[in-house]
C-alpha cells in the first residue's frame, strides 16, 4: 500500500541545499523532504571538508559568500549553540609555473596579502622553501562546522513541521491538476511545488519529472587522510594549497587531509577513490614538502556538481510551472548556503529579495542556459 501525502512543497534531497531551504520555508509552508539514502547528507554534504574562503569562485559565488558571512556570525544559538566558523586561514603557494596565476589572484582578491616564501614556511614548517617562488595568505578564511550547520537546519525544519522521508528515491514525477505528483516506492506525494535539491542527481530528477535538463555535471574529488609528520603539531596550520590547484591540504584533528584537487567528470553515483589519481596528487604534494608521507590512514571521494557557467542554479523553471531548481553549488555549497537558502526561500514565497542580491538573481535562474541556446 502506497502512503499518500499532501504538502505544499516536496524537497528532493536532504543535503545542505535541501534542508537549508526547508528550514527557510517550513514556517509558512507544509514541507516534505525526500532523501534517496537511508540517512540525510550521505553524499556531498557528508563528505565536505568545508572552509569559508571569500576569494573562492566567480563573482556570483563571492557575492553569495559575502552575504553569508554575517549570517554565519549571527546564527541562532538555539539551533547552533557553538560557533559555526573557526579560524583557519589559507596559505596559497606558487612555484615557477604558477606565478602568473598567483599574480592574477592577487590583483582581483579581497583581504589577500602577498607574503615572503620564508613567512609561508614559518606558518607550515614542512614546506620546501626552495620550491616556493611566491606566496599569499588570507587570514579571514575559516573552517565551517558542516555537521552542525546541517543538523541545525534539519532540526529547525522539523520543529516547524517539515517531514523527512529517507530511503525515498523518486521514481517519477508529473505535473497534474495545478500541482505535482511525485512517486517513490512507498509514497505518492501531492505538492504544489517540487524543489530539485538532488545534488549530483539534479538533472536526472528533472528528466524523471519531464523537465528539460540544464547540463549539470558531477565532478569527482578525492581526499586522503595522512598523519601529521612526526615532531610537528599541525592543528593550527592554515589550509595550504597550490595556486594551480594541483593539490590542497587541510589540517584537521591533528592529521592532514590531502586532496589531488581533481575534477573528473562522472555520472552521479556513490563516489569512490581512483587510487591512481590519488597517488598522483599525493606525489605532487610530496614534491613541495620536506617530510615523507608514511602512509594513508583512509581516503574517500565525493561529487561536486557544476552548472556550465559554474554558478549555482536557484529559481523556478520557466517551462515547468512549480518546478524549482536548487542545485549546481559545486565546491561552494557550504560557504554560500546561508545566503542561498534564504534567497531561495524568498523566491519560492515570491517575497522581497535582499538588496545586495537582486542583481545576481538572473545569474542563478535555470532559464539562463535555455535563453543562451
Pick left, alpha or beta for residue 349 (phi over 0 → left; psi -120 to 50 → alpha; otherwise beta): alpha
What contacts 178, CB < 8 A, 6 or more positions away? 192
Give the pLDDT of residue 313. Answer: 98
Give the pLDDT of residue 212. Answer: 97
Please answer whether residues 44 and 304 qualify as being in contact, where contact means their C-beta atoms are separated by less than 8 angstroms.
Answer: yes
In whole angstroms, what is the distance from residue 9 CA to residue 31 CA?
5
Model confidence over 328-343: pLDDT tens digits?
Answer: 998 899 999 999 999 9
Model confidence over 232-261: pLDDT tens digits?
Answer: 999 999 999 999 999 999 999 899 999 999
Model confidence over 116-168: pLDDT tens digits?
Answer: 999 999 999 999 999 999 999 999 999 999 999 999 999 999 999 999 999 99
| This prediction's pTM | 0.94
* Averaged pLDDT of the chain: 94
User: Does position 33 have pLDDT exceeding 70, yes or no?
Assistant: yes
In whole angstroms, what is the distance from residue 84 CA to residue 269 CA?
29
**Quick one: which of 213, 205, 164 has its CA closest to 182?**
205
Give the pLDDT of residue 191. Answer: 98
Give the pLDDT of residue 312. Answer: 97
Give the pLDDT of residue 373. Answer: 44
Hey, what CATH class is 3-50+146-215+309-372 in? Answer: alpha beta
Where do the CATH 3.50.50.60 domains begin and end in the chain?
3-50+146-215+309-372
40-49, 103-112, 294-303: least confidently modelled range: 40-49
User: Does position 95 have pLDDT exceeding 90, yes or no?
Assistant: yes
Where do the CATH 3.30.9.10 domains begin and end in the chain?
90-139+217-306
CATH architecture of 90-139+217-306: 2-Layer Sandwich (3.30)
Amino acid at each position: 500500500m502506497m502512503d499518500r501525502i499532501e504538502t505544499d512543497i516536496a524537497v528532493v534531497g536532504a543535503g545542505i541545499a535541501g534542508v537549508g531551504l526547508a528550514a527557510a520555508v517550513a514556517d509558512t509552508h507544509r514541507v516534505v523532504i525526500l532523501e534517496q539514502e537511508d540517512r540525510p547528507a550521505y553524499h556531498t554534504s557528508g563528505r565536505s571538508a568545508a572552509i569559508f574562503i571569500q576569494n573562492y569562485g566567480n563573482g556570483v559565488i563571492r557575492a553569495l559568500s559575502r552575504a553569508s558571512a554575517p549570517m554565519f556570525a549571527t546564527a541562532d544559538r538555539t539551533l547552533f549553540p557553538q560557533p559555526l566558523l573557526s579560524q583557519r586561514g589559507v596559505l596559497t603557494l606558487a612555484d615557477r609555473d604558477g606565478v602568473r596565476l598567483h599574480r592574477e589572484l592577487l590583483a582581483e582578491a579581497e583581504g589577500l596579502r602577498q607574503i615572503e616564501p620564508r613567512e609561508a614556511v614559518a606558518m607550515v614548517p614542512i614546506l620546501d622553501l626552495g620550491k616556493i617562488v611566491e606566496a599569499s595568505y588570507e587570514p579571514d578564511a575559516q573552517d565551517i562546522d558542516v555537521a552542525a550547520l546541517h543538523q541545525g537546519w534539519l532540526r529547525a525544519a522539523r520543529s516547524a513541521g517539515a517531514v523527512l522521508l529517507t530511503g525515498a528515491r523518486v521514481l517519477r514525477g508529473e505535473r497534474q491538476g495545478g500541482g505535482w505528483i511525485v512517486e517513490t516506492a512507498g509514497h505518492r506525494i501531492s505538492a504544489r511545488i517540487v524543489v530539485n535539491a538532488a545534488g549530483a542527481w539534479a538533472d536526472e530528477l528533472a528528466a524523471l519529472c519531464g523537465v528539460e535538463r540544464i547540463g549539470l555535471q558531477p565532478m569527482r574529488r578525492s581526499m586522503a587522510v595522512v598523519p601529521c609528520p612526526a615532531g610537528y603539531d599541525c592543528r593550527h596550520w592554515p589550509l595550504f594549497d597550490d595556486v594551480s590547484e594541483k593539490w590542497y591540504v587541510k589540517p584537521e584533528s591533528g592529521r592532514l587531509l590531502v586532496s589531488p584537487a581533481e575534477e573528473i567528470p562522472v555520472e552521479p553515483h556513490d563516489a569512490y577513490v581512483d587510487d591512481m589519481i590519488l597517488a598522483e596528487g599525493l606525489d605532487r604534494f610530496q614534491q613541495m614538502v620536506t617530510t615523507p608521507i608514511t602512509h594513508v590512514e583512509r581516503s574517500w571521494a565525493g561529487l561536486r556538481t557544476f552548472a556550465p557557467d559554474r554558478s549555482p542554479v536557484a529559481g523556478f523553471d520557466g517551462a515547468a510551472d512549480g518546478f524549482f531548481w536548487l542545485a549546481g553549488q559545486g565546491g561552494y555549497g557550504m560557504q554560500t548556503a546561508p545566503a542561498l537558502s534564504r534567497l531561495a526561500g524568498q523566491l519560492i514565497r515570491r517575497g522581497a529579495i535582499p538588496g545586495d542580491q537582486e542583481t545576481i538573481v538572473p545569474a542563478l535562474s535555470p532559464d539562463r542556459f535555455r535563453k543562451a541556446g
